[in-house]
């Protein structure tokens, strides 16, 4: 990279959280129960076992048992009490110099079951206060409309997102928040990580695995319905404020081939193409032939209507948001087309949850997406989960600094090559509950929150070494990393 290259002066440094992993405030002010509130903490299970449960999803029996459970601990119901502590927490982020802050609006705070005719004013009032605070501290709010916070009634009464009736329920909610904040929020992400139907099927689709015969078909139907709902909201957003920027978001799940063997290269290519499927539809406005062929060859029959095709064509997305944590690799001798079927890369080291550290993978991902679409990109999530140690009131997290520094360097290289990245959101800038494991000890933050996996602790906020490092990164606009 040319050493004279400098990031744009208006580059948006910041960080991202999800409402369901931070807020707590379970059932306060009329809040309903979301899918995230069903995730239990299992102290007896290994990280591998928890990951397997995530990939499987939930059954109706699981859902009803967790709803009735009076003894288990459900961490996302409590979060870090951001519902009450957001003013102080945001001020800590502002102290680092944050230019953006990404969070989600919890659907169940606005429409507790998704079925109400009128929104819950107490929920909207909370987000009024939150968004006003973000703006008052000089941060650009980046708001996700759906981040795994589908009301549980959508699952129990409609079977999940594969039911077309859910489109109207979500659009009703989306229109309310778009209209409420159309003059305060410029950047919107309609659906978080819309492509994770194989990694987080229940979170993504709200479909219990025991209610459909062909789960893959139901999942892709759910995604189609999300495409349609997203296009409807893009249409509405442009009508009420043409300046609104509407984005789609994917988790980078593209893969390297294991070797130069043609079978490995072709498997990686086909796998990657089905990852680009989501953005191909939402940016190009149509289903690509390779995806239609895949559906036909795998007994997947979707209800795609003519009016859907017109809507998707006429109301495409403005920008791409991506999350990037690690890279993946596929070996044709042992892996399949399922995105969760991967082979460990011997050239990389991983964190305790098996996430391989690969900064160059971010350069590769950003470059591929830019070359394919020429759409502005927000890095909506990038971070390093690790067991942090609080010793003598301090947290020495040099491993996090090393991880983030390497990824920011690769982001800058991609931008030097012409990729238009407009914002960088470090994931979990303050410690929150892990999405995948429901653990508190899988920490990402620049700020340590003194709570354990069972919610015990003082809740005190403590600046880690990375806090001061990221402050310097922002002050120097990425010159010092």
Q: Is the residue at 158 inside a domain?
A: yes
- 55: pLDDT strictly greater than 90: no
- Domain, as residue range, for 272: 12-475
Q: Is residue 5 domain-resident?
A: no
pLDDT tens by residue, 134-154: 999 999 999 999 999 999 999
Q: Is residue 1 part of a domain?
A: no
pLDDT in tens, 244-278: 999 999 999 999 999 999 999 999 999 999 999 99
What average pLDDT does the segment 470-476 reach?
Answer: 98
CATH number at residue 128: 3.20.20.80
* The pLDDT of residue 56: 85
Instruction: Indicate the pLDDT class of residue 116, thresholds 50, 70 and 90.
Output: very high
Supply the pLDDT for residue 1.
Answer: 67
Q: Which of 318, 420, 314 is nearest to 369 (CA)?
A: 420
pLDDT at 430 over 80: yes
In a domain, 191, yes or no: yes
Q: Which tens digits make up the pLDDT trace of 202-228?
A: 999 999 999 999 999 999 999 999 999
Alpha helices in 315-354 (DSSP H): none
4 lies in some domain: no
Closest CA to 143 of 431, 421, 425, 383: 425
pLDDT digit string (tens) for 277-310?
Answer: 999 999 999 999 999 999 999 999 999 999 999 9
Task: Indicate the number of domains in the chain.
Answer: 1
Question: Within a domain: residue 2?
Answer: no
Q: What is the Cα–Cα distance from 336 to 318, expressed in whole angstroms?
A: 33
Does residue 43 belong to any structural domain of this protein? yes
Flag whether 213 is in a domain.
yes
pLDDT per position as a tens digit, 12-31: 999 999 999 999 999 999 99
The size of the chain, in residues, is 481
If we measure between CA atoms, which residue out of 385, 431, 382, 438 comes closest to residue 410? 382
The answer to whether 47 and 139 have CB atoms below 8 angstroms apart is no
Task: With a cut of 80, say whether residue 3 has pLDDT above it.
Answer: no
Q: Are strands 187-191 and 245-251 parallel, antiparallel or unpaired?
A: parallel
Mean pLDDT, rounded, for 183-210: 96
Q: Which helix (H) or strand (E) holds 422?
A: strand 421-427
Q: What percent of the chain has pLDDT over 90?
A: 95
């Amino acid at each position: 990279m040319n050493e004279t290259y400098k990031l744009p002066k208006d580059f948006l440094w910041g960080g991202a959280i999800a409402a369901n992993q931070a807020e707590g405030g379970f059932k306060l002010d009329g809040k309903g129960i979301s899918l995230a509130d069903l995730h239990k903490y299992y102290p007896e299970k290994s990280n591998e076992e928890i990951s397997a449960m995530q990939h499987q999803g939930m059954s109706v029996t699981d859902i009803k048992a967790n709803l009735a459970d009076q003894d288990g601990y459900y961490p996302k119901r409590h979060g870090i009490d951001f519902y009450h502590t957001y003013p102080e927490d945001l001020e800590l982020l502002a102290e680092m110099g944050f230019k953006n802050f990404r969070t989600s609006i919890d659907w169940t705070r606005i429409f507790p079951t998704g079925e109400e005719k009128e929104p819950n004013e107490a929920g909207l009032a909370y987000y009024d206060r939150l968004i006003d605070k973000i703006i008052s501290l000089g941060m650009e709010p980046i708001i996700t409309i759906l981040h795994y916070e589908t009301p549980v009634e959508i699952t129990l009464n409609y079977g999940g997102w594969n039911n077309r009736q859910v489109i109207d329920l979500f659009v009703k909610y989306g229109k309310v928040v778009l209209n409420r904040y159309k003059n305060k929020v410029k950047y919107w992400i309609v659906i978080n990580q819309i492509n994770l139907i194989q990694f987080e099927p229940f979170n993504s689709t709200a479909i219990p695995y025991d209610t459909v015969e062909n789960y893959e078909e139901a999942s892709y139907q759910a995604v189609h319905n999300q495409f349609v709902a997203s296009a409807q909201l893009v249409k509405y957003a442009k009508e009420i404020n043409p300046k609104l920027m509407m984005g789609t978001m994917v988790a980078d799940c593209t893969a390297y081939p294991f070797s130069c063997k043609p079978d490995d290269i072709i498997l990686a290519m086909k796998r990657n193409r089905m990852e680009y499927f989501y953005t191909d539809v939402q940016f190009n406005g149509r289903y690509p032939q390779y995806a239609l062929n895949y559906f036909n060859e795998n007994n997947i029959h979707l209800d795609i209507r003519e009016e859907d095709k017109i809507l998707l064509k006429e109301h495409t997305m403005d920008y791409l948001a991506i999350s990037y944590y690690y890279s993946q690799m596929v070996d044709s001798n042992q892996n399949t087309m399922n995105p969760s079927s991967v082979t460990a890369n011997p050239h990389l080291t991983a964190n305790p949850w098996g996430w391989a550290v690969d900064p160059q993978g971010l350069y590769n991902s950003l470059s591929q997406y830019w070359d394919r679409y020429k759409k502005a990109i927000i890095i909506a999530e990038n971070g390093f989960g690790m067991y942090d140690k609080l010793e003598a009131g301090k947290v020495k997290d040099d491993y996090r600094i090393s991880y983030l520094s390497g990824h920011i360097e690769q982001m800058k290289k991609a931008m030097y090559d012409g990729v238009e990245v407009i914002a960088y959101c470090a994931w979990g800038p303050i410690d929150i509950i892990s999405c995948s494991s429901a653990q508190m000890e899988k920490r990402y933050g620049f700020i340590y929150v003194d709570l354990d996996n069972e919610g015990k602790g003082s809740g005190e906020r403590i600046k880690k070494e990375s806090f001061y490092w990221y402050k310097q990164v922002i002050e120097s606009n990425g010159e010092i990393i």
